Amino acid sequence: MISKRLIAVIPSTILAIATAASTAFAVSALPFGWLLGLIVLALAALLADVLKSYWETGKIVSSPAAWIIAIAFLAAGWVLKIRGLGLLPTLLPQFGVIAWFVLVFRLKNDRQACIGVKEINNKGE
């Protein structure tokens, strides 16, 4: 059985490896290396979130935050490449840090209603 400490490190490790790989693809001589780098980073963000959710709740589901991050990375990278700015390889590590911070430090019970909404919901039952 895998220890809980090792399980807690796996999503962070996935994002770290994907960040390094996406940067390597972006600076490579491949014709569409920049697009491959963006896709690797977006998929890693989704995978890390799914694994974290599975180990916490037992359900294989990704959060809306992970989808928003993945789509935002793809859109931002596409805009940078279309504009002809050579900033994409330098921004991919920053995208990886943003994904790590948002997805790994997400609270376990992040959908809490405020006190007033709880009181209204309790009266209806």
pLDDT along the chain (125 residues), means of 10: 76 88 86 87 91 85 88 88 78 84 67 55 56
CA gap 27, 89 in Å, rounded? 6
| 124 Cβ neighbours under 8 A, 6+ residues apart | none
DSSP conformation class of 29: S
Instruction: Give the pLDDT score at 117.
Output: 54
pLDDT of res. 71: 93
Q: How many CA atoms lie within 13 A of 68 on its CB side?
A: 6
Annotate 68-98 with b (16+ C-beta within 10 A) or e (fewer): ebbeebeeebeebbeeeeeebbebbeebbeb
The per-residue pLDDT for 109 is 54
